[in-house]
């Protein structure tokens, strides 16, 4: 007997037929003698619609009310899945975040999980009941209000629940059958990875591979939760996220990711003197705008150009706050370009091998793709390119690093 957390994403619960299929899968695990807790997302597209409604009413809406609205998607699916389970003879009960409770901090829209009291769920599971828990949501105890964990946050709900319940496994069911060398929807020759290390998965997720949400991988790594990604439509083995030393063969590059969620900002002709960069990034941090890649050119006439990326969702705020310090900083112009993509290659093998970046730059040059910004970390190289080159760049790099699987 094992204790398992099964998480189903939006496409897996997109309609009633799929919810019935999910109920069937859960039933099988229960009949195999396992204790099961389920976490579900909202139906595919539902959260996007809820977010749009908030934005259309007011672009700078109250974050607490945003959470009130967007958390509702998951309330629908937990109830429906509980009904579907009961209909096939599985004892089940739905749980919203506050009912468990899943306690978070009060950073609405991107709250952090601070603790889960799993005792009642465990009692129910031991008595043969299946708790169906709403992903993506929690409650902050200070004002007793509903919070959400950031987009894709149901993965985090599942991992956090698995840790709290001391589950043997956390199975993430989705619309692909595992973690691939890159997004299989862009590169049909992407290969499925049987195992991927926490470190690599964390880096891949943080640069855009949305198959697992970044914080969920971070938590799994910290709490040593065994995460498996597998298909909710097909019966086949998925991919395991494991410790580095469980991976026998470590290729130089294990994956390629892309993100179109960033925008490029350039400050033209900033005075080239100490303290200017500190002032720019201070102002952005003060407005809660995260900065990712940064480049600064060598100054010529006492001024320099400074380029960096921010999340697209934060671009308006970044422009606003930098506009307000323009006189103080004395830069000539602010240029904003949202039509960019960040392409990253990730691999633990990079720690001990040089030349990874060169291969990347050469492969992109051969396709005539101009690199706008570069950034690196111990196991990653990222470049910023024009958004129109996203697919071309990902495919070219996938081939250049020898990751292509058999055609077809």
Chain centroid to CA 217: 9
Taking the least distance from each CB to ligand ADP, the nearer of 104 and 182 is 182
Using DSSP's 3-state secondary structure scheme, residue 397 falls into helix
Rounded CA separation 394/141 (Å): 44
- Binders in 107-166 for Mg ion, by CB under 5 A: 152
| Residue located via tokens 């307000």 | 324
The rounded distance, in Å, linking the Cα atoms of 259 and 311 is 10
In this complex, which beta carbon is closest to ligand ASP, that of residue 5 or of residue 42?
Answer: 42
* Sheet-wide strand order for 137-140: 113-116, 102-104, 137-140, 145-148
Please identify, using beta-carbon distances, which residue of 139 and 270 lies nearer to ligand ASP.
139
Assess 208 for contact with Mg ion (CB under 5 A): no
- Which residues are paired to 169 by β-bridges? 4
Total binding residues toward ligand ADP, as defined by CB under 6 A: 19
Cα distances (Å, whole numbers) of residue 124 to 78, 91, 101, 252: 16, 10, 15, 46
State the minimum distance, in angstroms, from the CB of residue 171 to ligand ADP. Answer: 12
Q: Which of residues 288-347 bind ligand ADP (CB under 6 A)?
A: none
- Per partner kind, with CB cut-offs from 5 to 8 A, the member of Mg ion, ligand ASP, ligand ADP, none near residue 381 is none
The minimum distance between CB 75 and ligand ASP, in angstroms, equals 11
Should residue 209 be labelled a site residue for ligand ADP when binding is judged by CB under 6 A? yes
Nearest approach, Cβ of residue 330 and Mg ion (Å): 44
Tokens matching residue 283: 């102002």
Residue 360 binds what, of Mg ion, ligand ADP, ligand ASP, none (CB under 5 to 8 Å, by partner type)?
none
Peptide bond connecting 365 to the previous residue in cis, omega within 30 degrees of 0: no
Give the integer Cα–Cα distance in Å for 404 and 274.
Answer: 47
| Residue whose pair of structure tokens reads 């299946």 in the numeric block | 130
What are φ and ψ of residue 115, in 5° steps? 180, 150
Cα separation, 185 vs 176, whole angstroms: 9
Rounded distance between C-alpha atoms, residue 223 and residue 364, angstroms: 38
Report the partner that residue 153 touches, choosing among ligand ASP, ligand ADP, Mg ion, none (CB closer than 5 to 8 A by kind).
ligand ASP
- If the CB atoms of residues 138 and 152 are measured against Mg ion, the closer one turns out to be 152
Strand partners, 5: 37, 170
Q: Which is nearer to ligand ASP, 11 or 197 (CB)?
A: 11
**What minimum distance in Å lies between the beta carbon of 182 and ligand ADP?**
5
| Maximum C-alpha span of the chain | 77
User: 156-195 mask for ligand ADP (x: CB under 6 A)?
Assistant: ------------------xxx--xx-xxxx----------
Q: Which does 292 bind (CB under 5 to 8 A by kind): ligand ASP, ligand ADP, Mg ion, none?
A: none
Summarize as ranges the residues that interact with ligand ASP (CB under 6 A): 9-10, 41-42, 47, 73, 135-136, 151-155
Residue nearest to ligand ADP (CB): 9
Residue nearer to ligand ADP on the CB measure, 30 or 257: 257
For the chain, first and last CA: distance in Å?
A: 39
Does 11 engage in binding with ligand ADP (CB under 6 A)? Answer: yes
At closest approach, how far in Å is the CB of 20 from Mg ion?
Answer: 21
d(CA 92, CA 130): 4
Binding region for Mg ion (CB under 5 A)? 9, 152
Residues that bind ligand ADP (CB under 6 A): 9-12, 41, 152, 174-176, 179-180, 182-185, 209-211, 255
């Amino acid at each position: 007997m094992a204790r398992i957390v099964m998480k189903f994403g939006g496409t897996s619960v997109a309609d009633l037929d799929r919810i019935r299929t999910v109920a069937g899968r859960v039933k099988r695990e229960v009949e195999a003698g396992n204790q099961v807790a389920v976490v579900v997302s909202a139906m595919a597209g539902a959260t996007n619609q809820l977010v749009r409604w908030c934005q259309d009413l007011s672009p700078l809406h109250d974050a607490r009310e945003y959470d009130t609205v967007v958390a509702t998607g998951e309330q629908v699916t937990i109830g429906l899945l509980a009904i579907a389970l009961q209909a096939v003879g599985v004892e089940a009960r739905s749980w919203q975040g506050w009912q468990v409770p899943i306690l978070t901090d009060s950073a609405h829209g991107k709250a952090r999980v601070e603790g889960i009291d799993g005792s009642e769920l465990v009692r129910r599971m031991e008595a043969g009941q299946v708790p169906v828990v709403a992903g993506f949501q929690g409650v902050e105890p200070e004002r007793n209000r509903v919070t959400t964990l950031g987009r894709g946050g149901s993965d985090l709900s599942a991992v956090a629940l698995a840790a709290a319940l001391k589950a043997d496994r956390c199975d993430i069911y989705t619309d692909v059958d595992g973690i691939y060398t890159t997004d299989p929807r862009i590169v049909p020759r992407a290969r499925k990875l049987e195992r991927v290390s926490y470190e690599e998965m964390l880096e891949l997720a943080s640069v855009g591979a949305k198959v697992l949400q970044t914080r969920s991988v971070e938590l799994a790594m910290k709490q040593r939760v065994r995460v498996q990604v597998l298909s909710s439509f097909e019966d086949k083995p998925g991919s395991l996220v494991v410790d580095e030393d469980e991976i026998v063969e470590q290729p130089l590059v294990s994956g390629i990711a892309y993100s179109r969620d960033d925008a490029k900002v350039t400050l033209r002709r900033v005075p080239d003197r100490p303290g200017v960069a500190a002032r720019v990034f201070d102002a952005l941090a003060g407005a809660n705008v995260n900065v990712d890649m940064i480049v600064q050119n060598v100054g010529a006439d006492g001024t320099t150009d400074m380029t960096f990326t921010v999340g697209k969702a934060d671009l308006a705020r970044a422009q606003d706050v930098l506009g307000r310090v323009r006189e103080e900083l004395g830069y000539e112009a602010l240029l904003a370009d949202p039509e960019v993509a960040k392409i990253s290659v990730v691999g633990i093998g990079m720690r001990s091998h040089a030349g990874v970046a060169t291969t990347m730059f050469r492969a992109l040059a051969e396709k005539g793709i101009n690199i706008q910004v570069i950034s690196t970390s111990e196991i990653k190289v990222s470049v910023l390119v024009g958004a129109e080159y996203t697919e071309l760049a990902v495919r070219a790099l996938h081939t250049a690093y020898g990751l292509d699987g058999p055609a077809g």
